[in-house]
Amino acid sequence: MKRNTLNLFVLGLAGVLAFSCSNKELESRIAKLEGKVAELETSGKPLTPAAKPAAAAEPEVKPEGPLPSFEFAELDHDFGSIKEGDVVEHTFKFKNTGDAPLIISSATASCGCTVPDWPKEPIPVGEEGEIQVRFNSAKKPGVQNKTITITANTYPKINRLRIKANVAKADNPS
């Protein structure tokens, strides 16, 4: 239940981002919140009542039978320092280490400036696939942290990838 509540919180956060991609202050605050969520996910500590979203979703129930499973080569990628206006790409490679074909139903980013491209066909057991992520740094100076949320027929259904870049402000001649 804790994980589902956390997932609901992050999805709500991603929704806010989708409609406010150009607000630098909001982007900064959301990046900090994403960091705190990731910290909570890895620490195993229960959420405090103040940190829980108001509406709690039903806990995800593990389906019976064979399931696919992601095994990513990496979950995070840092583009390092780039110039404002650069469009950079990274490929996240994965393998289906489960017992059934892997089907990715969607991949969404925390901002419209980040576009994931994922395989639409099932990935057989033992086979590899890739998710291509393109980040457009136009009008995005400063440190950028973006989350790609992947929904698949795995347990849990949601998996996350993260990208980061330090975008140097472009020199605009007047």
Specify whether the CB–CB gap between 114 and 134 falls below 8 A: yes
Question: Rounded CA gap, 108 and 73, in Å?
Answer: 20
* Residue ranges of the chain with per-residue pLDDT less than 50: 16-17, 20-21, 45, 47, 49-51, 54, 174
**pTM exceeding the 0.95 threshold for the entire prediction:** no
Q: Give the CATH number of the domain where residue 76 resides.
A: 2.60.40.10
Asked if residue 94 belongs to a domain, the reply is: yes
pLDDT digits (tens, 9 = 90+) for 17-31: 455 445 556 666 666
- Give residue 20's pLDDT: 46
Q: ∠ CA 19-24-25 to the nearest 5 degrees?
A: 100
Other CB atoms within a 10 A radius of the CB of residue 109 amount to 22
Asked if residue 59 belongs to a domain, the reply is: no
Q: Provide Rg for the chain, Cα atoms.
A: 17
Asked if residue 26 belongs to a domain, the reply is: yes
Domain around 13? 2-54+67-168
Residues 6+ apart with CB under 8 A from 149: 10, 11, 14, 107, 108, 109, 110, 158, 159, 160
Asked if residue 174 belongs to a domain, the reply is: no
- Number of structural domains, the chain? 1
- Give residue 47's pLDDT: 47
